[in-house]
Amino acid sequence: MRAFLSIAAPLAVGAALELPVCSQVHTDYAGASWDRSVRIYEYVSNANPTMTEVPVRVYPPSMHQRGPSAIMPFDLSSELEVDYPATSPNLLANFVRVLENETLETGVAFAATSQTFYVIRGRGSSLTRNGTVEWAAGDMFVLPYFGDDVEPVCTTSAAGAQCVVHTCAAEPEYGGCALYWVHDEPLLQYLGVEPSSRRRFDPAFYTSVAMKATVQSLSNTDADGEVKNRRGILLGNSATSQTRTLTPTLWSLLNTIGPKMNQKPHKHNSVALDLAVYAAEGAPVYTRMSRELDGEGALVNPMMAKWETGGVFVTPPGWWHSHHNEGDEDAWVMPVQDAGIYTHQRTLDFRFADEEVARLQAGRARGATIDLATTRTSENLYRGTPAECGAR
Ligand SMILES: *[C@@H]1O[C@H](CO)[C@@H](O)[C@H](O)[C@H]1NC(C)=O
Ligand SMILES: *[C@@H]1O[C@H](CO)[C@@H](O)[C@H](O)[C@H]1NC(C)=O
């Protein structure tokens, strides 16, 4: 009789045993070949498999300030070890430059459940499968998957059924409009799925005017009369009232950091793809980030990403990070994250460093969730209606 399994030497981490005997034993049933895909690993040495990290990256505004009309994907697929374009495991972010009086098609190669476009610069319009939207700098719009029956709007089939046609009407400064485009195709590629034909949420258009007015409506001082170091609004949709996210997968925030202010270190499990909407020239505005905190709650050997108006930086998941504005004006940032997924899963695990240190000093370590009794959620600040914001 053959030995079923003998281990001569300890297994290296991640190593899989090859058991050729098994395929010889079971030859008398239909699924005999299914054992070829089987891999079995020792638990403790593989429970935290070696995964490449989401890297810290900065994409400067110069990318969309010159050159012909183009889509510029932030492709970190080789760093992430996937065989499709991706900026983070779930999302792909891009700059889109459209020269004045030109038209450019943006499409996803496979499929996406959510696409968001933020207008960095210029004035123009976008033809979607649900009509045309007119936009100007600071506006944002979000598209769901419109289903299989709605006609594509592009002229080249290469752009795919979900494509959008963008036209730049005017942009005097750099001769071309610029958009920041983020979608969740990498998540669908990973799962090997396409969206169902049912529309999961309705498209939404967030005007710059409405977003700025809502931020301005927030008090600039806290309960003790101190000037706040931030005013921020989460961008939601009527289909995501529980998670308060842009779409079921995407999350976005329009956030200010006041002059000479620091925002304390925090972390979350989502990956942040942060667009620096405005950072005054001169005194630096930047984000510091690190895997670790020391005993006082300070970042250990932090990396620094400088904010440049119209630039993007990637903050890896679970890294502690803090924002700093040494200038004399408010700085504005708009992160797009995959936090819709984490919030729904109850695994966003948002933490502030000072609370974390106080808890650990008191001998307590918390898990990923928070007792409902200690959480706080305020009411909706702005509700779009056709009368209020539909017609532009
Ligand atoms: C775009 O078209 C407008 C209106 O016809 C014109 O005034 C402008 O010069 C054009 N811009 C370019 C870059 O050709
Ligand atoms: C947009 O979608 C809605 C819902 O299906 C539909 O009622 C409306 O006619 C569409 N508009 C355009 C311009 O396609």
Tens digits of residue pLDDT in 338-366: 999 999 999 999 999 999 999 999 999 99
- Show the low-confidence residues of the chain (pLDDT under 50): 1-11, 387-392
User: Which ligand has the minimum distance to the alpha carbon of residue 100?
Assistant: 1
Torsion (CA) 192, 94, 120, 390 in degrees, nearest 10: -20
Distance 100 CA to ligand 1 centre (A): 7
* Residue nearest to ligand 2 atom 8, measured at CA: 130
User: Which ligand has the minimum distance to the alpha carbon of residue 150?
Assistant: 2
CATH of domain 57-206: 2.60.120.10
Q: What is residue 7's predicted lDDT score, i.e. its pLDDT?
A: 44
Distance 196 CA to ligand 2 centre (A): 18
Indicate the pTM of the whole model: 0.91
171 lines ligand 1 (CB under 6 A): no
DSSP 8-class letter at 175: S
- Within 6 A (CB) of ligand 2 lie 130-131
Where in the chain are all domains bearing CATH 2.60.120.10? 57-206, 210-361
Q: What is residue 12's predicted lDDT score, i.e. its pLDDT?
A: 55
50-66: per-residue pLDDT in tens? 999 999 999 999 999 99
Distance 130 CA to ligand 2 centre (A): 5
* Residue nearest to ligand 2 atom 11, measured at CA: 130
Return the best residue to mutate from 130, 150, 151, 198 for the ligand 2 pocket (most ligand atoms within 8 A of CB). 130
CA distances from 324 to 264, 285, 312, 314 (A): 9, 6, 16, 16
CATH of 210-361, one of 2.60.120.10, 3.40.50.720, 2.30.40.10, 3.40.50.10470: 2.60.120.10
